[in-house]
Structure 1
């Protein structure tokens, strides 16, 4: 089974590419969705978080209070590292479950949508890494115009991620999102067809 890692910095257009591929029949394993599943009520990860920081990081229903937890981990790198040591293994286990399910269905290709793929050192886990990118100024404009963010806040969010230039050299395919939405969708379809061919060639 060909494993494809899909990534891209904020407002680059990664989600649009994932939507196109999903419409074309792709199995998308979404890292953000897995992260939510990993800390649902009743999971070992949520129990470990509550044991580490107390029940005040839970809401009245016993679910994770993400805002309360963010206040802790964003201000304390050590706390963030402890949180990651709890959540990342749980997410990895769920991802492996999804891979096994795809393989059991006879699928020859699966896509893992991981925003911070390079930052967390996962690039080597994939047969192909596809990076969606756009110039920083264009991404800034999208964050302000499309998501209503304050320009300073948008700049901080962009600055918090690894510069996309550093990711280019490690990506197998770079999708440049500098045109219209339709242009990106066309490029995404072309790349998907090539990935399907490659998966088929592996037998």
Structure 2
């Protein structure tokens, strides 16, 4: 099974590119979606322990977590030590599932591919990029971005 790592900065078009792969029937594992799912499940208890008041109603409050990290940026490493192993576990489950199913090709959509050493876990890397003006327009069009 060939594993493609898909990466690029915010607003470059990774989601659109990932969707193009998915439309061709190629399984895509979206690391951002995995984190979102973990913030509603497996990561809740360890994050609650490490970041007081960052969990509300059994879900990680991303705004509160961001606030705490902006006040204490040194805690990013702590958050990463909680989240990254869980993301890798989900990634391994995804790869095992699709390898067992006989998939010829899968995509790992990982925004921080190189920063997390993910390039060592893939056969090929696709970097999505666009013109800086287009990127700026896309990012500013997102809710809550200024």
State the TM-score, normalized to the length of structure 2: 0.90
Partner of 1:29, secondary structure, is strand
Residues 1:143 and 2:139 aligned together: yes
Shift of 1:53: 2.2
Structure 2: which 5+ runs fail to align? none
Number of the residue aligned with 1:47: 45
For residues 44-123 of structure 1, the aligned pairs below 5 Å read 45-54=43-52, 56-59=53-56, 61-123=57-119
Give SS of 1:133's match.
coil
1:106 and 1:5 map into 2 onto residues whose CA distance is 19
Preserved contact between residue 74 and residue 80 of structure 1 (Cα < 8 Å): no
CA apart distance, 1:149: 6.9
TM-score when scaled to structure 1?
0.66
Max radius of gyration: which structure?
A: 1
Bigger relative contact order (CA 8 A; separation at least 6): 2
Task: Please list every run of 5 or more consecutive structure 1 residues that lacks an aligned counterpart in the other structure.
Answer: 154-203
Which of structure 1's runs of 4+ aligned residues deviate more than 4 A? none
Task: Please give the alpha-carbon distance, in whole angstroms, between the structure 2 residues aligned to 1:25 and 1:7.
Answer: 19
- The SS at the match of 1:92 is helix
Structure that is richer in helix per residue: 1
3-state secondary structure, aligned to 1:6: strand
